[in-house]
Structure 1
């Protein structure tokens, strides 16, 4: 697995989240700091899908780092989480 840069992570997460929002009929603009879960745009099923995607795509194990929905509540928060050295597999 190759390391991805912050802009690459943001771009990939933006595409993924925009697809999920479109499946819900939400075509509103999406900005990096927009709240996804606390705003109600995404729900708990989306959180599970997002966690699975992050674990698969980036090798992050939420059982090891702990689950905190605020760390997934925006594209910026997700990029920060994925970019943290402590979140990366050894």
Structure 2
């Protein structure tokens, strides 16, 4: 899971340019996310990490922070 976390952080840093982004920082509250980025994030998770997301997975709380995204990935991998 550590490798997945690093891949996710690298992806986010390409867009955010916030070097001290913490794992629990709310990326929506920080103003980093727009609808285009949200779709790019979903595509990254599906294509680069090989996680198939379903409509019920596309919920704001699943994408608020690095930790929230990792929890979603763990849940999907456990199925």
Q: What is the TM-score normalised by the length of structure 1?
A: 0.73
Name 1:18's counterpart in structure 2.
Answer: 13
Matches within 5 A, 1:1-90: 5=1, 7-22=2-17, 27=18, 29-63=20-54, 65-84=56-75, 87-88=76-77
CA–CA separation in structure 2 for the residues paired with 1:88 and 1:28: 28
Structure 1 regions of 5+ residues with no counterpart? Answer: none
The Cα RMSD (Å) is 2.1
Count of residue pairs brought into register by the alignment: 79
**C-alpha displacement at 1:62, in angstroms?**
2.4
CA deviations on 1:25-82 (whole Å, 9 max, x unpaired) are: xx35201000112331222211110000001123323235431021011111111111
Question: Which one has a bigger Cα radius of gyration?
Answer: 1
Moved over 6 A (4+): none
